[in-house]
């Protein structure tokens, strides 16, 4: 059963052994995740879940940008609203501002399930049932996004998240500008997406060997600006991998990613208002990169009735 009385003014709280997550119905956005001792692992977000930097958002049915808001699919040309007009792009999907409803029968004190039906709209004439769960366990906060195609035709689909990570931080330090310069980031990626400088749209891919985008051994972020998609991710025997953001005290926040995460977008929070930049690092798990509706790179095509599932987990690295 879903709770149809959800309001954008409300928030949901999920508690478990490794911390407390606060989630907004608007966009199913993660607002905060704190450890039992009160330390923050993600940048805290305003309660309505809407921010210019998309902090904590769920990105569906595409991630990043679609060039000119246009794409061809199964012999038809589709045109989406340009939600980033300055770059001539449709950005980050269609659910950023949507109100998701709580599934009371599937939720508990340690698990929240939110649902949203994405109806056909200009440029995306497909109907998807979306579910996003937040669960706090001994392993951390696991976020799972599931999509089911409820229409009669196949639908192009990509999905991701937009968490802004910080190393374990006190409430006083969390969100302080300029802290990114003190940190190191590790992402086990062998390639990066090359983009044009003006529109940040893909031109191709390249190995990260010897470049500023090689995070495999951990890389200092001091003075470095990054907004890059990383692929060819080295995985363990289960098909999963981890990203690690380490603070100057040696403690780290870790993101574990499931098999469906094929790309990680790294953004060092460089474009905010004056005095509010480089507070956190967006480490965005994605099933496909920018402009996948045109390139078809790692694009998922959901047949009628078919489901897709993506998960990632945020936690504090164990000693």
Q: E strands, 138-226, where?
A: 140-149, 155-157, 160-161, 164-169, 184-186, 189-195, 202-207, 219-220
Which residues, in sequence order, are bridge partners of residue 301? 156
Q: Can you tell me the distance from the alpha carbon of 14 to that of 21, in angstroms, rounded to the nearest whole number?
A: 5
Check pLDDT > 80 for residue 65. Answer: yes
Rg for the chain, CA atoms, rounded: 18
Q: Can you tell me the distance from the alpha carbon of 45 to that of 297, in angstroms, rounded to the nearest whole number?
A: 31
Mean pLDDT of 235-245: 98
Cα maximum dimension of the chain: 55
pLDDT of residue 271: 83
Asked if residue 141 lies in contact with residue 45, where contact means CB atoms within 8 angstroms, the answer is no
Asked if residue 122 lies in contact with residue 71, where contact means CB atoms within 8 angstroms, the answer is no
Query: Can you give the residue ranges of every domain in the chain?
Result: 2-316
For the stretch 212-235, pLDDT in tens is: 999 999 999 999 999 999 999 999
Q: Can you tell me the distance from the alpha carbon of 50 to that of 55, in angstroms, rounded to the nearest whole number?
A: 8
Look at 110-114, 158-162, 276-280 and tell me which has the smallest mean pLDDT.
276-280
- % of the chain exceeding 70 in pLDDT: 94
Let me know if domain 2-316 sits in CATH 3.40.630.10: no
Which two structure tokens, joined as six digits, stand for 295?
Answer: 């390139």
pLDDT of residue 48: 58
The reply to whether the predicted model has a pTM over 0.85 is yes
If pLDDT is split at 50, 70 and 90, which confidence band does 6 have?
very low
Closest of 14, 287, 43 to residue 140, by C-alpha: 14
Check pLDDT > 90 for residue 102. Answer: yes
Check pLDDT > 70 for residue 50. Answer: no
For the stretch 21-47, pLDDT in tens is: 999 999 999 999 999 999 999 999 876
């Amino acid at each position: 059963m879903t709770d149809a009385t959800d309001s954008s003014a409300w928030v949901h709280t999920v508690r478990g052994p490794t911390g407390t997550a606060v989630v907004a119905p608007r966009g199913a956005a993660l607002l905060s995740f704190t450890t039992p001792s009160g330390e923050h692992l993600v940048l805290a977000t305003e309660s309505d879940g809407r921010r210019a930097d998309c902090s904590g958002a769920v990105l569906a049915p595409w991630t990043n940008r679609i060039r000119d808001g246009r794409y061809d699919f199964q012999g038809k040309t589709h045109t989406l609203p340009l939600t980033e007009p300055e770059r001539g792009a449709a950005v980050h999907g269609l659910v950023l501002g949507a109100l998701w409803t709580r599934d009371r029968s599937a939720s508990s004190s340690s698990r929240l399930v939110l649902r949203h039906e994405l109806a056909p709209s200009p440029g995306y004439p497909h109907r998807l049932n979306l579910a996003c769960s937040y669960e706090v366990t001994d392993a951390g906060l696991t976020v799972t996004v599931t999509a089911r195609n409820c229409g009669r035709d196949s639908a192009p689909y990509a999905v991701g998240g937009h968490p802004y990570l910080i190393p374990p931080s006190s409430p006083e330090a969390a969100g302080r500008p300029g802290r990114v310069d003190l940190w190191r980031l590790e992402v086990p990626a062998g390639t990066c997406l090359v983009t044009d400088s003006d529109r940040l749209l893909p031109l191709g891919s390249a190995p990260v060997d010897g470049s500023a985008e090689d995070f495999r051994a951990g890389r200092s972020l001091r003075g470095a600006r990054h907004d890059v998609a990383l692929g060819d991710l080295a995985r363990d025997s289960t098909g999963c991998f981890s990203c690690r953001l380490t603070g100057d005290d040696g403690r780290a926040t870790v993101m574990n990613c499931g098999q469906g995460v094929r790309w990680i977008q790294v953004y060092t929070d460089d474009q905010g208002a004056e005095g509010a930049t480089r507070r956190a690092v967006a480490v965005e798990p994605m099933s496909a990169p920018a402009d996948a509706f045109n390139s078809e790179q790692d694009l998922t095509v959901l047949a009628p009735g078919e489901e897709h599932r993506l998960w990632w987990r945020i936690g504090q690295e164990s000693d």
